[in-house]
Amino acid sequence: MQVILTKDVDTLGNNGDILEVADGYYRNYLGPKSLAVVATKGSLADLQRRIERIRAKAEQKHQEDLAKADKVTGLLQIVLEANAGDTGKLYGTITTKELTKVLQEKTGFEIERRNVNVDRPINKVGEYEVYVKLSPKVSAHVKLQVNAIKAKHEEFVLEDAFAGEEDYGNE
């Protein structure tokens, strides 16, 4: 019996696959669980229309992702300022969370943190390459310039913690 899978089945195939299965397997397992329908002319035509809709949506999303990639690469360079020491080493690391926030502000669209990658840890002043994965087939990159904000050196006066207290020692 020829059937069309309506959902992914681990042992058989993926949604939309046309397969030949035993009559009993369809009657007892695939049919009652709505995992497949019998392949008739009507169901094959419906499958074809469904595939066309899925392809149209995928093409539209791909075009949107390409437009987003153009917007990201159009930034050319992002400049961030961070506290750094005299040697150029930052007092912290700039994380992908912070980069995502800056990218969202600059581009105006949502970017997931896990889709932002950097070629090396951002813990020094300098130039970095930031990669943004917008879909499995579309990615973009932008340069990141990290500049230092010189930290003001303040002198701390250590006060005697026990000043003014009596010494109770061993009596």
pLDDT one-digit tens code per residue, 140-156: 999 999 998 865 554 44
Indicate the domain borders of the chain: 2-61, 69-150
Q: Could you report the per-residue pLDDT of 43-93, keeping only the tens digit for each?
A: 888 888 988 888 899 899 999 999 999 998 888 888 988 888 888 898 888
CATH number of 2-61: 3.40.5.10
Residue in 73, 154, 89 with CA at minimum distance from that of residue 121: 89
Q: Is 161 helix (H, G, I), strand (E, B) or coil?
A: coil
Query: What are the respective helix, strand and coil percentages of the chain, to the nearest 5?
Result: 35, 30, 35
Given this chain, do its domains 2-61 and 69-150 carry the same CATH topology?
Answer: no
Closest CA to 36 of 84, 79, 2: 2
pTM above 0.85, yes or no: no
Q: Domain 69-150: which topology? A: Ribosomal Protein L9; domain 2 (3.10.430)
**CA-closest candidate to residue 128, choices 93, 163, 153:** 93
pLDDT in tens, 12-43: 888 888 899 999 999 999 999 999 999 999 88
* pLDDT on residue 156: 45
- Tell me which residue of 113, 93, 95 sits closest to 104, measured CA to CA: 113
Give the residue with greater pLDDT, 165 vs 45. Answer: 45
Q: Give the closest residue to 134 by CA, choosing from 79, 64, 74.
A: 64
pLDDT of residue 8: 84
pLDDT of residue 131: 93
| DSSP state letters, 94-162 | E-HHHHHHHHHHHH-S---GGGEEESS-EEESEEEEEEEE-SSS-EEEEEEEEEEEEPPP-PPPPPPTT
Q: What is the pLDDT of residues 90-129, one digit of tens each?
A: 888 899 999 999 999 988 889 999 999 998 999 999 999 9
SS3 60: helix
